Amino acid sequence: MDIHKWKAIIEGLLFAAGDEGLSIKQISLVLELHADTVEDILTEMKKEYDQEDRGIRIIEIAGAYQLATKKEHAPYFKKLMENPSNNTLSQAALETLAIVAYKQPITRAEIEDIRGVKTDRPIQTLVGKLLIKEVGRVEGTGRAILYGTTKEFLDYFGLKSIEELPKLPEQTSDEFVQEEADLFFEKFAEAFEDLT
């Protein structure tokens, strides 16, 4: 396979990995390439991304490579986030936010276990809207990011502290849980829309 195809695959892998990033070892295992070869390709890609006409770059944090936006474009990202049309949250983002609010600190994997689906995009949205943030790392292998709510979350929902969240019901029949979840997310969405 030629180097352009390897670069395209690595780019896709980094995009899919999101803010978790990938180590050279992880990429080399997936591509079945020697680690030195992967490192050379990443070095070349970093140089290409550093060109003025590119909107993203490749960064390395704690041995993990990830895609990131360029700092000089920050004023445009700020305008995007302040745009009123971007103030609504999807159902997936609302569900993720509710899980983080009640179970914090919590990892992405734990959120996915609860929701039963991937949560990369909702987490990115919530971090971008400053409703959740990284509050630490899990000890041990992988050091997964722990997420928690922010001061902005409390401000949006008019809470003095996280303890003011409504208590979850203790009854746990599947039908009851589904009805309560639907009602909760409906109220959560209405509250968010009223505040934006």
Q: How many residues does the chain have?
A: 196
In angstroms, the CA 140 to CA 142 distance is: 6
Examine the pLDDT at 84 and tell me if it is beyond 80: no
Question: H or E stretch including 189?
Answer: helix 174-195
Examine the pLDDT at 54 and tell me if it is beyond 80: yes
For the segment(s) 3-72, the CATH number from 1.10.10.10, 3.40.1160.10, 3.40.50.720, 1.10.760.10 is 1.10.10.10
Residue 155, helix vs strand vs coil: helix
> Tell me: the pLDDT tens digits for 88-98?
778 888 899 99
Handedness of CA 163, 168, 169, 171 (dihedral sign): negative
Where, residue-wise, is CATH 1.10.10.10 in the chain?
3-72, 83-195
Q: Looking up tokens 């208590």, which residue turns up? A: 167
> Tell me: the pLDDT tens digits for 10-39?
999 998 888 788 999 999 999 999 999 999
Examine the pLDDT at 110 and tell me if it is beyond 90: yes
Distance of CA 62 to the CA centre of its chain: 18
The residue ranking higher by pLDDT, 108 or 79, is: 108
Give the per-residue pLDDT at 86.
53
Give the per-residue pLDDT at 43.
93
Average pLDDT, the chain: 83
The residue ranking higher by pLDDT, 196 or 123, is: 123
Give the per-residue pLDDT at 26.
93
Give the per-residue pLDDT at 8.
92
Q: Looking up tokens 């700020």, which residue turns up? A: 78
> Tell me: the pLDDT tens digits for 142-194?
789 999 999 988 888 788 888 888 887 665 555 555 666 666 666 666 665 65
CATH class of segment(s) 83-195: mainly alpha
CA dihedral of residues 9, 10, 13, 17 (deg, nearest 10): -170
In angstroms, the CA 15 to CA 20 distance is: 10
- C-alpha Rg value of the chain to the nearest Å: 20
Residue 124, helix vs strand vs coil: helix
Contact of 65 with 23, CB cutoff 8 Å: yes
Question: H or E stretch including 78?
Answer: helix 74-82
